[in-house]
């Protein structure tokens, strides 16, 4: 969360001259409410069910860059769907995470103590990010443009 998937995903798509979509954006458009409101109204399990459908719909016949929400890979079917696709895991350390997400209330899972909650989520999820990733790109100390370039390099893709 907050590592730059949405920001960098869009930049990578621009450079490749291909489509871009973000499953959180799709969910907000389809539901007509924010991610935070879905969590408050219906809870995390309901959000995960909506998210799973959104990822499956987004990937069907898709040719472009897709930014996922950070928790999408908690679902085993979603992880299976990602197998065989180029998947980039963007990483950062906890201090960078707090800088990028700390004052923002859009991410309900970081709402109370962002440093502790981010660390706990990463401890629970790191192995899943590693499992689905075909490339890992560190984002600490890099601008979004530099991260986008590192993603293209890691995937051995050239700008359009």
Ligand X SMILES: O=C(O)C1=C[C@@H](OP(=O)(O)O)[C@@H](O)[C@H](O)C1
Count of other CB atoms within 10 angstroms of residue 69: 22
Give the shortest CB-82-to-ligand ADP separation in angstroms: 16
Q: Is 70 annotated as a binding residue?
A: yes
- CB-based contacts of 157: which residues, under 8 Å, 6+ apart? 16
The distance of Cα 93 from the centroid of its chain, to the nearest Å, equals 16
19-22 vs 64-67, strand pairing mode? parallel
Q: By C-beta, is 94 or 159 nearer to ligand X?
A: 94
Among 6, 34, 53, 117, binds Mg ion (CB under 5 A): 6
Give the shortest CB-71-to-ligand X separation in angstroms: 3
Length of the chain, in residues = 160
Q: By C-beta, is 103 or 160 nearer to Mg ion?
A: 103
Count of other CB atoms within 10 angstroms of residue 27: 21
- Interface size with Mg ion, residues (CB under 5 A): 2
Can residue 34 be called a binding residue for Mg ion (CB under 5 A)?
no
Q: Is 6 annotated as a binding residue?
A: yes
Annotated binding site: 2-7, 24, 48, 70, 107, 125, 142
């Amino acid at each position: 969360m907050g590592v730059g998937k949405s920001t960098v995903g869009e930049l990578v798509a621009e450079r490749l001259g291909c489509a871009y979509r973000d499953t959180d954006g799709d969910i907000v458009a389809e539901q007509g409410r924010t991610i935070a409101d879905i969590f408050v109204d219906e809870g995390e399990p309901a959000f995960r069910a909506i998210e799973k459908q959104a990822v499956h719909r987004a990937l069907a016949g898709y040719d472009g860059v897709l930014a996922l929400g950070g928790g999408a890979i908690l679902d085993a079917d979603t992880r299976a769907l990602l197998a065989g696709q180029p998947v980039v895991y963007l990483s950062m350390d906890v201090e960078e995470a707090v800088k990028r997400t700390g004052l923002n209330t859009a991410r309900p899972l970081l709402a109370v103590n962002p440093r502790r909650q981010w660390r706990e989520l990463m401890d629970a999820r790191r192995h899943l990010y590693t499992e689905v990733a075909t490339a890992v790109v560190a984002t600490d100390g890099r601008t979004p443009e530099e991260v986008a370039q590192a993603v293209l390099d890691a995937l051995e893709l050239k700008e359009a």
